[in-house]
Amino acid sequence: MLNLKIFDKRLFYKTLYSQVASSIINHSHLVLAFSGGLDSTVLLSILTELYYQNKKSKNIKSLFKLRVVHIHHGLNDCADKWARHCLKQCLARKIMCNVIHINCSKKNKFDGGMEATARHLRNKVLFDNLNVQEILLTAHHLDDQVETFLLALKRGSGPTGLSSMSAYGYNQKLLRPLLSFSRLHLEMYARDKQLNWIEDNSNKDIRFDRNFLRICVLPIFSKRWPHFASAVARSARICAEQEDLLDELLLNKLISLITINGSLLFNLLIKMNVHMRHALLRRWLIISYGIKKLPSYVQLDRIWHEVALSRRDARPIVRFNNFLIRRFRDQLYVLPLQMINSINSIRLSWLSVDVPIVLPLNLGLLIALPFSNVVLVKKKCPFCKQGMVFLSIFYHSSINIKISASCVVRAPYKDETISIQFGGAFPGLLHVIGRDRSRTLKKLWQEFDVPPWLRSRIPLLFYDKKLIAAIGIFITVEGDIQSSSVECRKIRIFWSNR
């Protein structure tokens, strides 16, 4: 950190530009998250100068593409005005700017209030907006790092939380090139360059913890200890280094506990001490599900005692943030909050298998094609994040869609009506291909290791009142092409869980 008492403007500019330039040197497609505030305006100014400087010098190694994204939350009366300001700033620099609107209504509310909801939705939209080659840049600075550290300390966080922010984040898709510079440094640059930026009036509201720290606490600390911010940043860096070391030491042990679907084999944790168990549980949540805000010590204890150590036939649930922890057999699963309830009985008429049918509740769609030796390219299964435990992921070569599951059944006869059903009870017994006798639907779910929370979310294919298949799980003898008494064609039904 530069000492402002012996401030050398030339040295400051050289350090600032060098830091940003070195941060982006290996990235050729940049996306700047631009709020229009001081911090992101400074970063936009620096990136623009570097962009045109490299373009003019024709330095191929340093050339990069730059575009800007502004998120319109719609929470402030000035939101439209801010969006126009951002567009104007980018237009003046001849840089492309996209304004993306997000809905922060109560319907989308997350734990932590509207501020947490806006932050979650903003981050999701920003990363969803990136293409494969792009990396997101944010203008977080040293003061933000100190605030993050103190907020984590206030929550009683361990080394993971106290690590605060790193220069790289979100699986190397996020870059924070200004993290070593204070807001005071950035403000000096902005005034020297005569930049125009937005002053968000909500930043003065000390009801928000971060604003309270910035306005009421940190000035006192900095006056008493001028190097307080640098010391906090150093502590955060040390915590991060310790966590990285622990990650490396525990990696092999963790790999042996995680299944291909992302669930955790918790029986092996029983003989471990509580500290090792908690460390492995946290890393499981990060690695398998990408969870950023980890459960507290108390929540981890509840996950272990109330879920993992529950009776084998029990169905306990622990909720944290917007996730659910559940147990099935000897494994722990993380589920999205919307899976807390089963789906009540739903019946959809499929008028013609020649036309795809869209499934309810964002469960994707079903596509029926004539059976052939199509090429299915297998990919790594991402459905562990949604609690899917039985599906492999394929990509159909000719229709170019992601396939969650498929089954080959006989095509319906002309006089048979087709329907897809979810949930509800199925009376009577079912004779499934590969089984020597009939069973109830509940018994089949158990035999095929389908967790209770998924059973009502699997499409059931019916011809008239006959159950033909549970897509991706089993096919009944009524749907078996071999058992048909008359010659009929085969179809492959694909479930694309988008």
Cα 250 to Cα 204, 253, 287, 291, 384: the distances in Å are 43, 5, 12, 18, 21
Residue 375's pLDDT is 46
- Distance of alpha carbon 309 from alpha carbon 259, whole angstroms: 19
Would you say 434 and 407 are in contact if contact means Cβ atoms under 8 Å apart? no
Number of DSSP helices (H) and strands (E) in the chain, helices first: 14, 22
Which of 246, 266, 250, 248 minimizes the C-alpha distance to 258? 266
- Distance of alpha carbon 59 from alpha carbon 398, whole angstroms: 42
Q: What is the DSSP letter of 422?
A: E
The tokens for 275 are: 């500290």
Which of 244, 224, 226 minimizes the C-alpha distance to 236? 244
Find the distance separating the first CA and the last CA of the chain, reported in whole Å. Answer: 47
- Distance of alpha carbon 137 from alpha carbon 90, whole angstroms: 16
CA dihedral 210, 211, 215, 217 (to 10 degrees): -30
Residue 372's pLDDT is 65
The helix/strand/coil state of 332 is: strand
Element (H, E) at 377: strand 376-379
Element (H, E) at 331: strand 331-336
The tokens for 257 are: 């506990």
Domains and CATH numbers, the chain: 9-238 (3.40.50.620), 258-339 (1.20.59.20), 347-496 (no CATH)
Q: What is the DSSP letter of 126?
A: H
CB atoms within 10 A of CB 57: 10
The helix/strand/coil state of 62 is: helix
φ, ψ of residue 394 in degrees (nearest 5): -130, 160
Residue 487's pLDDT is 57
- β-strand pairing of 490-496 with 365-370: antiparallel
Angle, helix 183-192 to helix 38-57, in steps of 10 degrees: 60
| CA-based radius of gyration for the chain | 28
Q: What is the DSSP letter of 476?
A: B
Output the pTM of the full model: 0.73
Cα 496 to Cα 86, 129, 234, 391: the distances in Å are 39, 22, 47, 11
CB atoms within 10 A of CB 126: 20
Residue 187's pLDDT is 95
Which of 169, 150, 296 minimizes the C-alpha distance to 240? 169
Would you say 367 and 394 are in contact if contact means Cβ atoms under 8 Å apart? no
Q: Per-residue pLDDT for the chain (498 aa), expressed as one digit of tens each?
A: 455 544 678 888 899 999 999 999 989 999 999 999 999 999 999 999 999 988 888 776 778 999 999 999 888 888 999 999 999 999 999 999 999 998 876 555 555 566 777 887 888 899 988 998 999 999 999 999 999 999 999 988 888 888 988 888 777 789 999 999 999 999 999 999 999 999 988 888 898 899 999 999 999 999 999 999 999 999 999 999 999 999 999 999 999 999 988 899 999 999 999 999 999 999 999 888 777 778 888 899 999 999 999 988 888 999 987 889 999 999 999 998 888 888 888 999 999 988 999 999 889 999 998 876 444 444 443 333 333 333 334 444 444 566 778 899 999 988 999 999 998 778 889 999 989 899 999 999 999 999 999 999 999 999 999 999 999 999 999 998 776 555 568 899 999 875
- Distance of alpha carbon 427 from alpha carbon 448, whole angstroms: 19
Name the H helices within 364-497: 441-447, 452-455
Residue 37's pLDDT is 94
